[in-house]
Chain A
Amino acid sequence: MTEQVFDAALALLVMGVGAWSMMAGRITSAVIIFIVYGLLLSLVWVRIAAIDVALTEAAIGSGATGMLLIAAAYKTGRESGARETVSGSLHVIAVLLASSVALGLASLAFVLPGEPVSLAGDVLRSLPDSGLGNPVAGVLFVYRSFDTLLEKIVLLVALLGVWSLGSDRDWGGIPGLKPFAQKHSVLVLLARTLPPIGLTYAIYMTWVGADVPGGAFQGGTVLAAMWVLVMLAGVRQIPRLSSPALRAAIVAGPVVFLAIGFLGFVSPGQFLAYPQGFAKPLIVAMEIALTLSIGVILGLLSAGPSNGKDAR
């Protein structure tokens, strides 16, 4: 009973806060409300027994996305305080369209085939062979590792997309992220004390990800957050984007992933298949490399393209 009340309240709250983020007057408030929405949403994911997703939603959907959105809101939100929308009749059409989509989808809840379908059994049947304990990690790194590999390429291409927006002259230079002008004592303190803790936590998340919820993405996001904090506080110089060490860190994960993929051709004979008995060590190695790459790429996505003017 209490669980149902809690679920109902949570569902209402998520809808309400979601709606609020669409309606808020100032763009900066809309973004902040959206971040709160993301955190509430990760609670929902906990409630539907998807802890891995809850962690990802909190880390990426709310955290990393929120970080980017806030920066953009402060940069571009000034031009118009109020919310500008399309005029009268179009607005009515949009409301009608949106509500029919929502109602249509909602009504499907009652007509989806009664017998729920699931691959849970199939996943568990073959999981022991891989030595992994976390079925979600099993799907991500064993059965559907091809998706995961392509997703890493997506991330890399997104980074290039962001870099491509700098100027020719500044290519390979220092990203446009501005450290705080004066040494802000609290920020510096945080930037000196938090990273070791964050690093430990990131390693822990990655390490346990094979068996319990967690993994490269969650670990990588923590790593990225620490790095952005350090960059913002100006404690460490932001590296040049052409720096060989930085490039190596960016591609480490994809390189290991691809290497393991090609190794599969040799033994046992299929791309992205693991040699008998080596699945777990290979996956853990891959996840460690991925954590580093994801952390660096997420940090760089937040730092933006190199920009001579801004980097001073």
Chain B
Amino acid sequence: MMPLQSLAAAAPTPDGYLLVLAIILPATAIVALVGLGGRGAAGIVLATLAAQLIIAIRVLSLVWQSGAPVVYVIGGWDPPLGIALRADGISAVMMLTSAVIFSAAAAFAWKDYRPPRWSPETRGSLVFWSALLAMASALNTLFTSADLFNLYVALELLTFAAIPVVSLKGSAETLRAALRYLIFAVFGSMLYLLGIVLLYGAYGTLDVSSLAELIRPNAATLVAAALVTVGLLAKTALFPFHLWLPPAHAGAPAAGSAVLSALVVKGSLFLLMRLWFDTFPSLRDPAAMQILAALGAAAVIVGSVMAIRQARLKLLVAYSTVAQIGYMFFVFTLVPVLPGESWIAASAWTGGWLQIVSHAFAKAAMFLAAGLVAEALGHDRIRDLAGLGKQLPLIVLTFAMSGISLMGLPPSGGFSAKFMLLVAATAEGHWLWATVIIGGGLLAGIYIFGVLARMLAAMPDGTAVAEIGRGRQLITFALAGVALLLGFLPLEPMALLQIGRMP
């Protein structure tokens, strides 16, 4: 038997309590919002979001400086009996990404959902802020928990928080979208749970790092891995499980759509990557990984083609999410199975995470921009967007900037991500996937330039455009700016993303 690396990995670090706070502070805030009936809600929400940002920055700098994960053991009970939290490089990056995007979405939504000061809450204010905080809490759990069952609870918390955001408008259409989303998501988590039941039956632990050492490719383990994977794919909306996503993401209010598309789908995706790269690396059969890459390729093509065919801007943006999720699945086949990883593999790994992060910023910006467009015009029909370039140039610019990242044009995070994936794909001889990476960019170009062309067309007479405040435009612009700035990171594997990776 190998020496138990997990024992070293589970040794708590001094600042580990930050991980607990990242999960528990938003949870406490929800309890306070409900209990106080809206009194002091604005302060509670702002303080919690600020704390999220500070904690995320602190965790990232701790991981960066020490070159090792931040670990906390809850209640002092070591796994397998207890639950450990562990933030490695990718956790820290995702915690910060999510804290920044939540803050931006909150600032954007402040106008519509501002909690009434010292008076009873409204439906919108209580539901929106509680859901936002619950998502933040659930995502931080997903990014840091090392316990498979605790992760199941977090997955469900994330879904239950996302549902009311989808149906917040209350129309029959959004109710239907929310119900379909719920059924898909709960079905997915049941399969995930079934998988971890089998793992517990085989190994007697739910701790991610101990399992990595114990796991053997026997029948029960393979079935478990397959169930966990299919369950998480359903929640991540990878083709062919993507049907629930567009109506759900397009039906939510703009700030809600932004966090759903930028962050919530990444929760289950993060877990999937965590499991396949840290817990099941010994099960990574190249053929099975090719299936995931093939589904990713199908998602890129189907999602893009569907986006091109949409008549409504928000649906177009939502289908673009279906396509962009597909790229992340090339990582499964581009990062080879065995340790002693090459520079190529490490750059595919960096490319994949950069895709996740830059998509988060670009998509949040694009959904917020689409929301402002709909608010300005009173509709989001693509064919009637003419004249926006004159009336709301900053929004059009923002849309174009986020589009650059999604298409993968330089300089942008999306370009660097896709470029690194492309280099890895060609270097490893995966020509088919290389073609899809390039083709997906071209297809994205079609739907994005299609929208921009309409926006920049001359304004027909008699179009009324509602006033849009400067603040929300600038928030949206800043998010798209981050997506572009990510493109100035050096085009090489990032050491940060390797910190704490098992073997």
Q: Is residue A265 within 8 Å, beta carbon to beta carbon, of the partner chain?
A: yes
> Which of A50-58, A205-213, A231-239, A251-259 lies at the interface with chain B?
A251-259
A contact residues, total (Cβ < 8 Å): 55
Shortest C-beta distance, A104 to chain B (Å), equals 6
- Say whether, besides A112-B202, A117-B201, A154-B157, A271 and B223 are in contact (CB < 8 Å): no
Shortest C-beta distance, A130 to chain B (Å), equals 11
The answer to whether B123 and A171 have CB atoms under 8 Å apart is yes
The answer to whether B204 and A118 have CB atoms under 8 Å apart is yes
Shortest C-beta distance, A290 to chain B (Å), equals 13
* Neighbouring A residues of B223 by C-beta, 8 Å: 104-105, 108
Shortest C-beta distance, A252 to chain B (Å), equals 9
Query: Could you tell me the distance between the alpha carbons of A255 and B27 in the complex, rounded to whole angstroms?
Result: 10
Of chain B, the residue at the smallest CB distance from A104 is B223
The answer to whether A108 and B219 have CB atoms under 8 Å apart is yes
- Say whether, besides A147-B150, A264-B75, A122 and B81 are in contact (CB < 8 Å): yes
* Neighbouring B residues of A157 by C-beta, 8 Å: 30, 130-131, 134, 157, 160-161
The answer to whether A153 and B37 have CB atoms under 8 Å apart is no
Q: Is residue A123 within 8 Å, beta carbon to beta carbon, of the partner chain?
A: yes
Q: Is residue B431 within 8 Å, beta carbon to beta carbon, of the partner chain?
A: no
> Which of A18-26, A159-167, A189-197 lies at the interface with chain B?
A159-167
The answer to whether B80 and A258 have CB atoms under 8 Å apart is no
Q: Is residue B122 within 8 Å, beta carbon to beta carbon, of the partner chain?
A: yes
Query: Could you tell me the distance between the alpha carbons of A269 and B36 in the complex, rounded to whole angstroms?
Result: 29
Shortest C-beta distance, B410 to chain A (Å), equals 42
> Secondary structure of the B side of the interface?
helix
Option from A166, A250, A268 in Cβ contact (under 8 Å) with B76? A268
Q: Max chain B CB contacts within 10 Å: which of A144, A167, A265, A271?
A: A271
* Neighbouring B residues of A254 by C-beta, 8 Å: 31
Q: Is residue B218 within 8 Å, beta carbon to beta carbon, of the partner chain?
A: yes
Query: Could you tell me the distance between the alpha carbons of A117 and B121 in the complex, rounded to whole angstroms?
Result: 50
* Neighbouring B residues of A153 by C-beta, 8 Å: 27, 30-31, 134, 137, 157
Contact residues of B with A, CB < 8 Å?
17, 20, 23-24, 27-28, 30-31, 34-37, 72-77, 80-83, 120-124, 126-127, 130-131, 134, 137, 141, 149-150, 153-154, 156-157, 160-161, 163-164, 167-168, 170, 175, 194, 198, 200-205, 218-220, 223
Closest 10 CB pairs of A and B: A117-B204, A251-B35, A171-B123, A164-B164, A164-B127, A272-B75, A273-B75, A161-B164, A270-B76, A271-B20
Q: A119-B204, A171-B123 are known contacts; what are 13 more A-B pairs with Cβ within 8 Å?
A: A108-B223, A153-B157, A154-B160, A157-B157, A161-B160, A163-B123, A171-B122, A172-B37, A242-B37, A250-B34, A261-B24, A271-B74, A272-B75
Q: What are 6 contact pairs spanning A and B, CB under 8 A?
A: A108-B220, A142-B75, A157-B131, A164-B167, A258-B24, A265-B17
Contact residues of A with B, CB < 8 Å?
104-105, 107-108, 111-113, 117-119, 122-123, 126, 142-147, 149-151, 153-154, 156-158, 160-161, 163-168, 171-172, 242, 244, 247-248, 250-251, 254-255, 258, 261, 264-265, 268-273
